[in-house]
Each structure stands twice: as structure tokens, then as C-alpha cells.
Chains A and B, each alone.
Chain A
Amino acid sequence: MAANPMTQFEVYRIGPEIKVGAFDISFTNASLFMVISSLAILIIFNLGSKKNSILPNKIQLLAELSYSFVSKMISDTAGSKAKPYFSFIFSLFMFVLFCNMFGMIPYTFTVTSHIIVTFILAAFIFIGVTVIGFIKHGFGYLKLFVPSGVPIVLLPLIVVIEIISYLSRPISLSVRLFANMMAGHTMMKVFGGFVVSLGIVGGWLPLSFSVALTGLEILVAFLQAYVFAILTCIYLNDALNLHH
């Protein structure tokens, strides 16, 4: 019998149980893979920026390419005012990308396939962007909820709708990343299970599907990290350049 496709998302404890008050903060496999991705980013970018040669080696090229990629993305979507937030968006993009990519290696754990991880990231972005908006515009930031040219009778309804649409941002941001990662990994596991259960006679078709899906998943892993970062830029743009 093929393994349950959802067991790959199980979180279990590594090492001793640690409790602070009512909270269980033990080190789990999810934490392990977050640490691994962060360390990988740190190592790659430290090696990449160590030697500033004019003719870059592979690691330096990787670091420079990703730097210019994110920097271009920010200036395209949020303008030059968003430059001070470069480091935040860059680390966000790299973290999501590396978590997604580490999940593609067999027997690893995909951190971003858990809604709580993506939701915390999105909620952090949401609160940060709102705070930035209030710092830059004061209470004028509330004008975001009042579009111009609306009849006064409709205004209460429109404001409620705008508030709901604003509050739905972190949810749509987190659900998108989580659902993409989880659906893709479940599908790969299901096709893998077909290969095993159909055996050597009929297993070739699902096997070829699995290979194709792996390629698709690598694309999705990159694309979702990109979408996550670019939507952060768009929200930041709304907060920095207030116009409606």
C-alpha cells in the first residue's frame, strides 16, 4: 500500500521538549529546515561578497544576479521611495525561495507548505506596511479606505468594503503560497504512490508524470517566491505613494 501523501507534512519534535508557560517551543523538523535555509543564504552571500573581483566566479555571479533581480523588481513596482526597504524584501524573497527549493529535495520538509508559517510572514508584512503608511502619512493614510468621487450615501458601504478588501491581503498572500506548495507536493507524492502500486508494468506513465511535475514544481517554487515578494512591493507602494 502506498504511503499516505499527507505524512510528508507532519511536524515532529527533534531533541528535548522545551516549554515556556503554555507554549511549546521545542525544536521541530520545521525549525530545522528554516535554520538550514537561513544558513544556506548566509553562506552563499558571504562567499559571494567576499572577493569583489571584476570577473565574478559562480557564487559571486549568483549573489550579484539575485541582488540586481530584487533591486530591479523593487524599483519597477514600488519606485525609488522603496529603496530603504530593500534589505527586508531581499531577505524575504531569499528566505521563501530557499525554503521552497529545499522542499524540492527528496526527504526534506517544506516549511512553506504550512499555513501558519506563510501566515505569520504575511501578517508581519501587513502590520509593517500599515505602520509605515501611518508613519509616512499620519491619519491621512485612512484616505486609502475612502475612494474619491463616491456619493455620500454609498460611503459607509464602500468604506466597509474597502476595509474588508484591505484585511484580506495577508490571507490571500499566505493562502496562495501555502496552497501552491502543499498541492504540488501532495500531487507529487500521489503520483509517486501510483508508481509503486502499479509496479514495473504500468508504473512508467505515472513515473514520467512525476518527472514532469518535478520540473513544474521547481518553476512554481520560484514563481511563488517571486509573487510573494512582488506583492509585498505592491503593498509597500500603496503605503508609500498614497493615491486612489
Chain B
Amino acid sequence: MSKDPFKTRLEIAKKKVSKRDLENKKDNQSPIGTAFKLSTELVSAVAVGTIIGFLLDKTFGTKPWLILIFFFVGVVAGIINVIRSAKKMQK
């Protein structure tokens, strides 16, 4: 008796499962989902930047300079967000 037949069968099944997992990993997100994800990343950073600028303007009384500056900083942050998540998707 060399080997338990159940064990060999289990090993074969396990190998099949891990192989299938590798194949599934490549694309398990739909295109609509990824497109939507990227757009919200961009928009939300711009929104946060603008809100921060607005609040700082209100506290320091420097209307409208800080809101302008932070709007563009928000745009930069949004673009960085998009690049980062796009890189993560490519992995």
C-alpha cells in the first residue's frame, strides 16, 4: 500500500483549485466598476480640496485665494489617486 487513495485525490483537487484561482485572479472586476471607481477617486479628491480651501478661507478671511490654491491641489491629489489605483489594477 503506497498511498491513501483519498489523499492523492485530495491533492489533485487542491492543485486544480489553486490553478483555477490563479486564472480567476486576472480579471474579476467588471469594466463599469473600474471606470466608476476611477472617476469617483478623481472627483472626491477635488471636492475635499475645495472644501478644505473654503474652510481655511473662512477662518483666515483670505477669500478667494486659498480656495483657488486648494482646488488645484485637490486636482493634483485626484490625478495621483487615479494613477495609483490604475497601477494597482495592472498588478
Query: Chain A residues in contact with chain B, CB under 8 A?
Result: 157, 160-162, 164-165, 167-169, 171-172, 175-176, 179-180, 219-220, 223, 227, 234
Query: Judging by beta carbons under 8 Å apart, are A164 and B74 in contact?
Result: yes
Given contacts A172-B40, A175-B44, contact A164 B73 (CB under 8 A): yes
Give 7 CB contacts A-B under 8 Å.
A161-B80, A167-B52, A168-B78, A168-B81, A171-B47, A179-B36, A227-B37
SS class of chain B's interface: helix, strand, loop or mixed? Answer: helix
SS class of chain A's interface: helix, strand, loop or mixed? Answer: helix
- Nearest-neighbour CB distance to chain A for B68, whole angstroms, equals 14
Within 8 Å CB of B76, what residues of A? Answer: 161
Number of A-B residue pairs with CB-CB distance less than 8 Å in the complex they form: 56
Interface 1/0 per residue, B21-38 and A, CB below 8 Å: 000000000101100110
Within 8 Å CB of A180, what residues of B? Answer: 36
In Å, the complex CA distance between A82 and B18 comes to 22
- Nearest-neighbour CB distance to chain A for B18, whole angstroms, equals 12
In Å, the complex CA distance between A160 and B66 comes to 13
Residue of B nearest to A175 (CB): B40
Known: A162-B77, A172-B43, A179-B40. 14 other contacts (CB 8 A): A164-B45, A164-B52, A165-B80, A165-B81, A167-B52, A168-B41, A168-B44, A168-B78, A169-B44, A171-B44, A172-B45, A175-B40, A219-B30, A234-B88
Query: Chain B residues in contact with chain A, CB under 8 A?
Result: 30, 32-33, 36-37, 40-41, 43-45, 47-49, 52, 70, 73-74, 76-78, 80-81, 88
Within 8 Å CB of A175, what residues of B? Answer: 40, 43-44
Within 8 Å CB of A157, what residues of B? Answer: 73
In Å, the complex CA distance between A167 and B40 comes to 13
Within 8 Å CB of A234, what residues of B? Answer: 88
In Å, the complex CA distance between A160 and B70 comes to 9
- Nearest-neighbour CB distance to chain B for A41, whole angstroms, equals 24
Within 8 Å CB of A179, what residues of B? Answer: 36, 40
Within 8 Å CB of B78, what residues of A? Answer: 165, 168
Query: Judging by beta carbons under 8 Å apart, are B36 and A168 in contact?
Result: no
Within 8 Å CB of A223, what residues of B? Answer: 30, 33
Within 8 Å CB of A176, what residues of B? Answer: 36-37, 40
Within 8 Å CB of B88, what residues of A? Answer: 234
Query: Judging by beta carbons under 8 Å apart, are A161 and B77 in contact?
Result: yes
Given contacts A161-B73, A164-B74, A227-B33, contact A172 B49 (CB under 8 A): no
Within 8 Å CB of A172, what residues of B? Answer: 40-41, 43-45, 81
In Å, the complex CA distance between A162 and B84 comes to 12
Query: Judging by beta carbons under 8 Å apart, are B73 and A168 in contact?
Result: no
Residue of A nearest to B41 (CB): A172
In Å, the complex CA distance between A172 and B44 comes to 5
Of all A-B residue pairs in the complex, the 7 with the closest CB atoms, nearest first, are A172-B44, A171-B44, A168-B45, A164-B77, A168-B44, A165-B77, A168-B48
Query: Judging by beta carbons under 8 Å apart, are A164 and B49 in contact?
Result: yes
Query: Judging by beta carbons under 8 Å apart, are B77 and A168 in contact?
Result: yes
